[in-house]
Structure 1
Amino acid sequence: PHLVPFINSARRKGKPIVLIDIRRSESAVLADRFVQVRPGGDGALAMAVLRILAKDGRLDPDAPGRCRDFDRFEQMLESAPLSRLIDRAGVSPSDVEYLAGLYATGPVSTMIGWGLQRRAAGGNAVRWIDALCMLSGQVGSSGGGANYNPGRLRGLDTSFLAQPSGRTVDVANFAFQLSTLDEPRAEFVYIYGGNPVDQFADSQAVACALDSKPFVVVADAFFTDTAARADVVLPVTLMFEEGPDAVGSYAHHWVARMQKVCDPPRGVKSDVEIVRLLRRRLGLAPDPLLDDPEKAVALMTAPWFESERPFCRNPHQPEVPFSDGFATKDGLMHLVGEEPAGFVGTRQEYPLLLLSPKRREYQHSQLETASPTMPWPCFVNPAAPGVHELEGAERVRLVSDLGSMEVRLVFRPELPKDVCVVPEGGWLRMDSAVNKLVGCRETDIGHATAFYDQHVRLEPIDDEER
């Protein structure tokens, strides 16, 4: 919803909207053209478009001077056969030519979805898309650019806040690292603002890691699978029960003040209030944020709001990003140094690649346990490997090297034959947490979890199980 008004505004002005995705998602209704890319083929597609622009002499002549090691990058580009890149991307030559025409004439605003951060080689793919936008003249140009992270915190005054300290645990390897923390061993776990049992990879291992800890406290407004593992559950306020505060947006730079709409139930406290009371009980020194949250929010957001208006465009966001250079030591863009990764292939025993996108009905896994239709849906092409062996069964088992879950088959002929789609957000206790099937793998940049590199297969449920 954050980006849709801007897309609709562009369409009304006659600007073409192109959706590039593995599957025809709900966003396809906003697009004038849909380009179906092979899983893991985004970087190869960007390189293919660049290859055509370079061959035809349609790169921005000023762009190389704003980049480091352009000569090396150009050699890598020239040595890659266009046919191989198109094959890796899984698109048609006409799709590549069409995109090359758009980028050659511009401006093109490239909105990079967050699905790429769920791939092991997603960072490399994003860097190739960045290179395409840079060398075609979109970066530093009004209406163009590569947009991935809007930098929602830019301009906030955080100078008076305490700096983070202590040990860290990587999200992608949460269960293993929490279990092996030593010197000292983790005896007390406090979780707020998340549901790691259902949201992290290898859900069963996360649950076991929490079960092994002597004392677990979860602060949440819902009794999630993570809360079920806690020794103490602290109910917390929801967004409309808090304020004053301020919020940013996804995919654009507008910010808004937020006021409390209603009072929370009796005894329910905010996350900030819980921590403040704990600090007082422990005899710790006062903290400026915790002692007066309203004043702290006003100080932090003062650079955002220069008047009493309830919303505004963040004045610290540049009108045209990177028009005056980059935040590197030499002020140049550092181009990607290696070719895009190849197709995320499947294995014979697990011939399907599992995708677990968000559901439109809710964010993540804070839902009422009675709301989903069970079993959890699994969308596949009717010609997908293993479907013919199911003999028309609707309820089947989805299996990975970590375990299995019962799913309800829903056929989607437009899906690639080697892909299955199971929405994330289900609960482990209801056998609908798809992350129980996903192994712990880190992405190439940012220590995120490569959820979209998991392979699975379909199996029938025997009569006794039914």
Structure 2
Amino acid sequence: MQQIRTNCPLDCYAHCGLVAHIQEGKVIKITGDEKHPVNKGLICSKGRFKHLQRLYSKERITTPLYKTSRGWQPLSWQDAYLLIAEKLTKILDTYGPLSVLHHDNGGSEGILKSLSHRFFNALGGCSRPVGSICWGSGYQAQLYDFGKLQLHSWEDILNARLILLWGRDPASTNIQMLPLLQQAKKQGVRIIVINPLQVASCSLADWHIAPRPGSDGALALAVAHQIIKNNMVNRDYIEQYVYGFDRFRELVRNFPPEKAATATGVPAEQICRLAEMYGSLSPACILLGYGLQRYSNGGQTVRAIDALAAITGNIGRAGGGVNYAGGHWKGLFSPIDGRELAFTGRKLPWPVLADAILEAKDPPVKSIFVTRSNPVTQLPHTGRVRQAFGQSEFTVVVDMFLTDTALLAHLVLPCTTFLEETDVVYSSWNHYLAYSPQVVPPVGECRSDHHIFSDLAQVMGLPDFPRRSPEAWLTEALAPLAPYGITLEQLKNGPVRHPLAPDVPWQGGGFATPSGKFELYSQLAASDGVNPLPIYQEPVESPLRDTELAKEYPLHLITAHHPDYLHSQFWNLSEKGRQRQPVYLHPDTAASLQIQPGQTVEVATRRGKALFSAFLSEKIRPDTALIYQGHWAAHGNGVNHLTAQYIPDMGLGTPYYDCLCRITAK
């Protein structure tokens, strides 16, 4: 039996090393790669089972499909390319390149995936979403504070005395870090989980704090108030490395624990205890999640938490830091996306993309191409997204299955899985770069994104997209790494660590901000028209901000990630994923609404309503409902029928959790 090392391409913390076991030309098993420096053989169920299920699923699309009045009809690849060339040329000639929207995201990672962008740039440009449906607000927050994003190495948490898992749940979404957290706990490191939900990582914690959804910024400012009041700040660090402390001190002077207790639901004495622990147990490490910034106030929330590390000197110190994401690899690759080829471009804001498409003028959006994403399932306000896609005269979706988005397409092109293609992957959450070879031939007539857009460029006569092998493109992309001894041939021997990323960033300062310091008062934010201080404002749909709305819709709705799936991927592979979706409620909430376990209920928001099955759990706050995101509308599910389109405070992140709902028994 042949064994081939490869890597998971899913957009999560690890990009785990995998081993594909091959027999008679087919993958029969996938195991963890014990030699991989990040996951060291530990993999989740997606890596162990679901990739293989997907590879050989009977529902997989294996030939191009064209929608006709008689339903989906198979096409040859040449006919599919000619159809695209005909339709696209007509739209371009009539409306210009900005009438074409390319919706691409991180459903499957790899350097070669950027070649889809090269195709549209070679056409002269196009319309594209800007911002993020994942991390945008928090990302911009750390750009304002630090100037760029950097991470401590995972192993550095062993140098901490205190770890705050603030909105982060490694036991569900980053199991590769669990051995390190367990080792830290054995060493006596204190672990605190701050999360509205009693998540799986609470099993590791010494203490769980459950603030009201969307109020984390208020909690952080009150902690800062106590730290400053009790003179627990690191004055030497502030004087040398922090900009704007005096103005920040004035801000938090008016945010005592008693005030924050009203906003957060966390008792004032617990806030004081948290401040005492964070201010005295140094070094202290904060690992941030993404849910806490999925509110309209999400960017300032992250800035308020960053500030805690700055005023206590927990930046640039082993065992410290505020770890959100890393931008270490940016600028180290030679871009192959053809960005220099575009002579025009238009950016449509991701958090309100459906409205932006519908409102686009001069020119309107007439064609939509979708790669590596399922926007009809994943964008907020599904009803408006369907309207937006409904106005497209020609929609092309590249995917493995007839997803909610593919069902609205005119043409669907079948793409390969990572096991059927070659690429190089890297993560925004660790320091490693890895080569993924093609393991088996493609199923049916499936083709890689590189193959599809390279062929299409030839059919359309685009000279700036030459026909080159995957290895030739990868060699070009990796060329700037050659001075560090990193080449494609070296990567074929195993993952390579980033040559410049420090284990502990910001030692000795060197912040990439205008002042060269960590900025509590952000000059860049001020120039962008954003409040330069990490103020706290209630989310748009907060019962403390809109009391009339809360009378009709009294519960917070959190739409978190499910540990067994990745966004909308893999739900279609099991009967469980096709069943009516659960909504999780606290037993007291269910009792007050006269809802029984397993009962069908209607969940409604200002956007719409849908049916769910009630599940009761004491892990949910009484003022909150939990519905996992990713379920397909085609299966009668889809929580984004309920979520809102809001522009957040910064970074064009998507405030999915900024949502109040009403639940009634049926």
Indicate the residue corresponding to 1:335 in structure 2.
Answer: 520
SS at match of 2:663: strand
Q: 1:339 to 1:173 in 2, by over 3 A?
A: closer
Superposition CA RMSD, Å: 2.3
- Once the two structures are overlaid, the 10-residue window that deviates more, 7-16 or 130-139, is 7-16
Shift of 1:460: 2.5
2:126 alignment counterpart: none
Check 1:391–1:408 CA distance in 2 against 1; reply closer, same or farther (3 A cut).
closer
Distance 1:392 1:161 in 2: 51
Find the aligned partners of 1:215 and 1:85 in 2 and give their Cα distance: 51
C-alpha distance in 2 between matches for 1:392 and 1:101 = 39
**Which residue number in structure 2 is paired with residue 166 of structure 1?**
345
State the shift of 1:448 in Å.
Answer: 1.6
Matched, 1:293 2:293: no
CA distance in 1, matches of 2:388, 2:405: 11
- Equivalent in 416, 433, 441 of residue 621 of structure 2: 416
Structure 1 counterpart SS, 2:228: helix
Segment drifting more, 126-135 vs 365-374: 365-374
Report the alpha carbon displacement of residue 155 of structure 1 after superposing the two structures with TM. 5.2
- CA–CA distance in 1 between the matches of 2:283 and 2:560? 30
List alignment gaps of at least 5 residues for structure 1.
Answer: 462-466
For the residues of structure 2 that align with 1:299 and 1:99, how far apart are their CA atoms? 50
Deviation at 1:174, TM superposition (A): 1.5
Count matched residues: 459
Name the SS of the counterpart of 2:552 in structure 1. Answer: coil
Counterpart in 2 of 1:19? 193
CA contact (8 A) 1:152 1:248 kept: no
Q: Is the 8 A contact 2:238 2:313 kept in 1?
A: no
For 1:434 and 1:412, the matched residues in 2 are separated by 19
**CA displacement at 1:170 relative to structure 2:** 1.7
CA distance, structure 2, for counterparts of residue 70 and residue 188 of structure 1: 50
Determine if contact 1:352/1:385 at 8 Å carries over to the other structure: no
Bigger drift between 91-100 and 398-407 goes to 91-100
2:643 is the alignment partner of 1:438: yes
Residue in 1 that maps onto 2:36: none
> How far is 1:306 from its partner?
3.0
Distance 1:80 1:185, change over 3 A: closer
> Secondary structure of the equivalent of 1:456?
strand
8 Å CA contact 2:598, 2:615 repeated in 1 = no
The one of 280, 284, 295 aligned to 1:119: 295
Q: Match for 2:506 among 322, 327, 343?
A: 322
2:392 counterpart SS class: coil
- Indicate yes or no: 2:270 matched with 1:94: yes
Which of 35, 41, 49 is equivalent to 2:209?
35
| Residues 278, 284 of structure 2: 8 Å contact kept | yes
Between 335-344 and 102-111, the greater mean CA deviation after superposition: 335-344
Q: Aligned residue for 2:408?
A: 229
Cα offsets for 1:7-44 (capped at 9, x unmatched) = 23323433222211001112222323222122122112
Say if 2:387 is the partner of 1:208: yes
The counterpart of 1:269, out of the listed 439, 447, 451, is: 447
CA–CA distance in structure 2, aligned partners of residues 50 and 439 of structure 1: 31
CA shift at 1:277, angstroms? Answer: 1.2
Structure 2 counterparts to residues 58-457 of structure 1, below 5 A:
58-65=232-239, 66-92=241-267, 93-94=269-270, 96-151=272-327, 153-154=329-330, 156-159=332-335, 161-163=337-339, 166-243=345-422, 245-249=423-427, 251-287=429-465, 291-301=468-478, 303=481, 306=485, 308=490, 309-323=493-507, 324-335=509-520, 337-342=533-538, 344-345=542-543, 347-366=550-569, 367-368=571-572, 370-372=575-577, 374-384=579-589, 387-390=592-595, 394-457=599-662
Displacement after TM superposition at 1:338 (Å): 4.5
Q: Percent identity?
A: 29
Cα 1:387–1:312 change in 2 (3 A) is farther
Aligned to 1:368, the other structure's residue is in SS state helix
Q: Shift of the alpha carbon at 1:347?
A: 0.5
C-alpha contact 2:602 2:611 (8 A) present in aligned 1: yes
Is this contact kept in 1: 2:257–2:272, CA < 8 A?
no
CA contact (8 A) 1:24 1:34 kept: yes
Deviation of residue 341 (structure 1)?
A: 2.4
TM-score by length of 2: 0.65
Q: Which one-letter code corresponds to 2:429 in the other structure?
A: A
Moved more, 165-174 or 357-366: 165-174
- For 2:578 and 2:458, how far apart are their aligned partners in 1? 45
TM-score by length of 1: 0.92
Greater helix percent: which structure?
2
CA contact (8 A) 1:45 1:96 kept: no
Q: Please, which runs of 5 or more residues in structure 2 have no aligned partner?
A: 1-174, 522-532, 544-548
Aligned CA distance change for structure 1 residues 248 and 4 (closer, same or farther; 3 Å): farther
- For 1:21 and 1:48, locate their aligned partners in 2 and report how far apart those are by CA, in whole Å: 16
Superposition deviation, residue 279 in structure 1: 1.2
* Equivalent position amino acid for 2:535 in 1: E
Given that residues 424 and 436 in structure 2 are in contact (C-alpha distance below 8 angstroms), is that contact kept between their aligned partners in structure 1? Answer: yes
SS in 2 for 1:109: strand
Q: What does the per-residue CA deviation read over 1:122-176, in whole Å, with 9 as the maximum and x for residues that have no partner?
A: 1000000000011111111122101111226335323564227511222211111
Secondary structure, counterpart of 1:409 in structure 2: strand
* Deviations 1:232-264 (CA, angstroms, capped at 9, x unpaired): 000001122221x22223533233222222221
From the superposition, tell whether residues 6 and 392 of structure 1 become closer, same or farther in structure 2 (CA, over 3 Å): closer
Instruction: Output the amino acid matched with 2:249.
Output: E
SS in 1 for 2:322: strand
SS in 2 for 1:273: helix
State yes or no: 1:458 paired with 2:663.
Answer: yes
CA distance in 2 between counterparts of 1:73 and 1:297 reads: 47
